[in-house]
Structure 1
């Protein structure tokens, strides 16, 4: 039994095993105890045995300004006392109005229309539904298909899961929504050999596969392209130089909408409030959630261009879609307070200033034989693990199972680092610490990783 788990036989662990259904969790993993987190402060979390850990994943790419921010909890209390709930179904409330205006102010171009959801999956679902209805209203009902990238994760609802490019997550729930097609991602480390040393050429090649897919499916049938600024699943694939510039050209050429799925990448994770601003492209829609409140209350949003809103602006037309808790007053108020912290503490400036140090610190791990690649942007990085650095040989399924679930996940946690050891694609470790971290925390993370990865290699 791991020392970091609430042991089996205690009331709380037994209650968890009897009643709590973990998300994306092998329930059998709780047979020997349940890792139970009870408190957070800054970039640290504590379990119910009193052990302290670095939160190297910001909960789940969420807690941008760190744990224990009393002012966010207090703002939630104040709003709940004033107006705890009211829906946006034919009505409005000040918190949703103010937050919509603020988000539109950060979004590029004419992305001025904000449709609130509760989560990132709901935001992606909303974007696909809006794209379908928009093209119908424009007299082009055949445009309903979407294109996304292989290994990309876009959510768990049926539409978002269809857009997701991870077959293992989809098989149990098929048949899914038809019309979702996949193209290659931007994993430079696994690029065709002739393009590995030429990022710009690889970016052009990867973007042109989108044009190829649109041509194959027929431009008259393709509604939208869904892309993360930095792809999460597979281990943080940043866009090669010129990639999004070319994608924007392709979408304009074929009259296809470009959706920037920023559920992870928004709110400072890559740099600016919206990552498309950092990376220099203007989409037609942005989907976002997670870091909007730093996790202190759930909320998500779809931000759409004035062009997409125009058919809904007059007459009897409506977007017959919504969520009971979308734009919840408490969540919207907390989001505003979270953005106040961003402005007061110059959080995005801090990320821009410290991102090169984070990269350089993690790249020190490249001297380990098990570390093949370190990649990412901002405060969002993946470390790909390999059997052979020269050939870039990866681990087979059984080896990956032993390495990640049999050792690394538990060993990193027991060493004091909460992060993600993931094999959706090739085996990687993902890191996304709170945006308040700096060089001292980066060094601490690197030292823990070095010790555990060295032991992993010796076991292999």
Structure 2
């Protein structure tokens, strides 16, 4: 082959090379692609005609299954009526309607919604609101942000700065300054195979936070952000009383508490959100994913009345917060959100999850004792399984189990040495049993 032909082959764009896939080993995937052609209800259908049970609700987001007719119809009707209008100095009525429906589901004074387009944008928005709030409120020295080791808060620079997953951070420089991290609130040596919240002493994990406050002084700390249930890192539950104690500490020191509810909002735990489930009222909650069933990108932040009123009353005349997105409250996303919220209510989806969670809990914990299972954790319709590492190959065996599940017709998620399952919220006991038994078979096959 001539040098010219070789060069042409190198730069030639084939069917798969143009798309640089996110969070994917691209070379391995393109050698053996898993291509989804369509979806309906609980199932995906591949380009080669296979039927795959969606055991991960898309990516924690397709809570009502795929292609729900009411959501599809709402998007189609909205596209024909109003495809787009800027959210800067203009609005459409459905944005206010959806904001009202969302805020009604969050506890206490969480009464105001700022729309974004993703969970990552929601987190960055919440962090910016926290910093701007303190400045507007006369405490401009409060600029420090506190996250948590092992936390996931999206992939914006703010989110990865407060996030605590090493691979999401290490390639991107020094990130935001003035950020610290609390300990990961789980110890497998004490809490392995917990059902729901762990039972170890929560103050063990919160004492270092109080030491941070003493070190930096409370007057420098703006906000703490945590996931009520650690999701993307493998489904880990803090010990009982942890979130309540964290709320008490932050309130004592005038520090804002942000719950990242991108995964836990809209039914995953059998209630409208984690704040309601745990009985804790933070100052802000982020959301995305399940708000409109993942049908059109959408996210947002629910903000307390104290924060909102501060901006409205103490800002100079004009724009109170210099922040927003081109697609904030996009008409199609909003239409999908209104339809999804109606379905959650009409079909009593949260109650369905609450009723079926004990069955799912017993089913998933029946995997204890299967080959290579080191730990199992669960809450609501979410479960994490830690798979024994093969030598020094982080995640290799867990990925093999993930691939075997796919070969057996079920989609789950692999992240490092953990598998995660997040069934579609309308899954019945037969579907849940199929999901768990497929994982069992995959574990035994890989063994």
TM bracket (short chain) = over 0.9
Among 398, 407, 417, the residue aligned to 1:414: 407
Among 349, 365, 371, the residue aligned to 2:367: 365
Residue in 2 aligned with 1:355?
357
Residue in 1 aligned with 2:434?
444
Structural mapping, 1:58-457, within 5 Å: 58-190=57-189, 199-314=198-313, 315-316=316-317, 318-386=320-388, 395-398=390-393, 400-405=394-399, 407-423=400-416, 427-457=417-447
Displacement of 1:34 in angstroms is: 1.7
Cα 1:346/1:15, change in 2 over 3 Å: farther
Structure 2: how far apart are the matches of 1:342 and 1:247?
30
Give 3-state SS (helix, strand or coil) of 2:368's partner. helix
Structure 1: how far apart are the matches of 2:379 and 2:191?
22
Conservation of the 8 A alpha-carbon contact between 1:56 and 1:433: yes
Conservation of the 8 A alpha-carbon contact between 2:381 and 2:425: yes
Residue in 2 aligned with 1:28?
27
Structure 1: how far apart are the matches of 2:58 and 2:321?
33
Structure 1: how far apart are the matches of 2:175 and 2:275?
29
Structure 1: how far apart are the matches of 2:390 and 2:216?
35
Structure 1: how far apart are the matches of 2:209 and 2:122?
23
Structure 2: how far apart are the matches of 1:249 and 1:285?
15
In angstroms, what is the RMSD of aligned CA positions? 1.9
Conservation of the 8 A alpha-carbon contact between 1:188 and 1:199: no
- Range that drifts further, 85-94 or 46-55: 85-94
Conservation of the 8 A alpha-carbon contact between 1:188 and 1:202: no
Cα 1:381/1:305, change in 2 over 3 Å: same
- Range that drifts further, 236-245 or 183-192: 183-192
- Range that drifts further, 291-300 or 203-212: 203-212
Residue in 2 aligned with 1:4?
none
- Give unpaired runs (5+ residues) of structure 2: 1-12
Displacement of 1:32 in angstroms is: 1.9
Conservation of the 8 A alpha-carbon contact between 2:404 and 2:446: no
Structure 2: how far apart are the matches of 1:211 and 1:279?
22
Displacement of 1:456 in angstroms is: 2.3
Structure 2: how far apart are the matches of 1:258 and 1:92?
29
Displacement of 1:395 in angstroms is: 5.0
Give the TM-score normalised by the residue count of structure 1. Answer: 0.90
Displacement of 1:174 in angstroms is: 1.1
Give 3-state SS (helix, strand or coil) of 2:140's partner. coil
Displacement of 1:415 in angstroms is: 1.1
Conservation of the 8 A alpha-carbon contact between 1:151 and 1:233: no
- Give unpaired runs (5+ residues) of structure 1: 1-13, 387-393
Give 3-state SS (helix, strand or coil) of 1:263's partner. coil
Give 3-state SS (helix, strand or coil) of 2:33's partner. coil
Give 3-state SS (helix, strand or coil) of 1:181's partner. strand
Cα 1:185/1:395, change in 2 over 3 Å: farther
Q: Which runs of 4+ in 1 moved over 6 A?
A: none
Cα 1:374/1:324, change in 2 over 3 Å: same
- Range that drifts further, 353-362 or 236-245: 236-245
Structure 2: how far apart are the matches of 1:272 and 1:201?
24
Residue in 2 aligned with 1:391?
none
Conservation of the 8 A alpha-carbon contact between 1:112 and 1:304: yes
Cα 1:135/1:349, change in 2 over 3 Å: same
Displacement of 1:335 in angstroms is: 0.4
CA-to-aligned-CA distance 1:285-313 (integer Å, 9 cap, x gap):
00000001111111101110011111221
Structure 1: how far apart are the matches of 2:200 and 2:395?
35
Count of matched residue pairs: 429
